[in-house]
Structure 1
Amino acid sequence: MLTRQWPALCAWGAGLIHLAVVASSSPLWAVLLGAMGALELAWGVYALRSGRMTGPRVVMGAALGAIGVSGIAGLSGSFAGVPLAAATVLLLVIAFAAAAVLRAERRRSPRRSTYEASRQRPGRTLLGLLAGAALVAGLTTPALALTDAGEHAVPHGETSRHGGH
């Protein structure tokens, strides 16, 4: 089930974007976005490792709250809008996946879990993971390039002027 894998990958993408935006932010925004980014990365690891979305109501609330913070930061005018918009898209995927899990929990019989059902099809799980990683990377990479951290990064194939040999 994609609602197990893709939200974790989207959390990593949103977390990386929020951490990259910290480089060009004021101290208040740096603390807020930095904490948000770190929590997103940690939750992504936890969600992928656990194999299911636990606490979908909390996850949905946190994703919607992070969307609000990203929106306010974007509207403040001190950040590049495209990276925060990309993070918002990734957070929307998490919110929609949490809503899907809540809906499925209402319909599912107590004997069958989504984790057990997906364990029977490892090839499908791997393909879903690869497709999700490609989609998240395709959205996250350009967004990271548009942040201050991305603009100051050494281009691929070149060495740094500060000690690279």
Structure 2
Amino acid sequence: MSALVRTWPAVFAWGCGLLHLGLGASLRAEATGAAGVLAMAALLVLGLGELAWGMASLRAGRPRAPRTAVLGALAGVAVAPAALATGCSAVAVAAALLLALSAVGLASRGKAGSTASTPRRAPGALIAAAAIAAAVVTPALATTDTPSHIGDLPSGGQGVHSGH
């Protein structure tokens, strides 16, 4: 099994998990109502699950439970319309979907029963995956702040993003 198939799904799942946690944290219950609370809970649970799956996969040296990864990606696809309807960033939702589907696609290419070497033997592949995930996640996370958070600061000043 190549280093790409062994390490990239885990790192992409981490990126997707961070985006889902950011999206869930950006929702405000008082602004979005019951639908927002459900979307927030789903995004937070999904994000934690993706982080855990990525950790287990990287620790094992290969994607763990590929069927679980597929279910997680489908859950991300299912919660995306609700996230968009409650005011989440379309850029962040699209980035999370891209990473989730990429992770599942790569994880499904691996053989479940193969014995893989640990990721420590392929540091270049791990660094490349981290660079790609960071290039996708960082700008997308910057868009997760809802308009209700932007504007006047409690001290009376203006937020850095007000007016943009």
Q: Shorter chain as normaliser: what TM range?
A: 0.7 to 0.9
Partners of 2:74 and 2:97 in 1: how far apart? 9
Q: Give the equivalent residue in structure 2 for 1:84.
A: 93
Q: Give the equivalent residue in structure 1 for 2:105.
A: 96
- In structure 1, the gaps of 5 or more residues are 154-160
Q: Confirm whether residue 13 of structure 1 aligns to residue 15 of structure 2.
A: yes
Superposition misfits of 4+ residues, deviation over 3 angstroms = none
Partners of 1:65 and 1:30 in 2: how far apart? 13
**What amino acid is the match of 1:115?**
A
Partners of 2:63 and 2:75 in 1: how far apart? 18
Once the two structures are aligned, what percentage of the paired residues are identical? 40
Q: Give the equivalent residue in structure 2 for 1:115.
A: 116
Q: Name whichever of 135-144 and 77-86 sits farther off.
A: 77-86
- In structure 2, the gaps of 5 or more residues are 28-35, 156-164
TM-score by length of 2: 0.74
TM-score by length of 1: 0.74
Partners of 2:9 and 2:24 in 1: how far apart? 22
Q: Secondary structure at the match of 1:11?
A: helix
Number of paired residues? 140
Q: Give the equivalent residue in structure 1 for 2:57.
A: 47
Partners of 1:78 and 1:64 in 2: how far apart? 21
**What amino acid is the match of 1:73?**
A
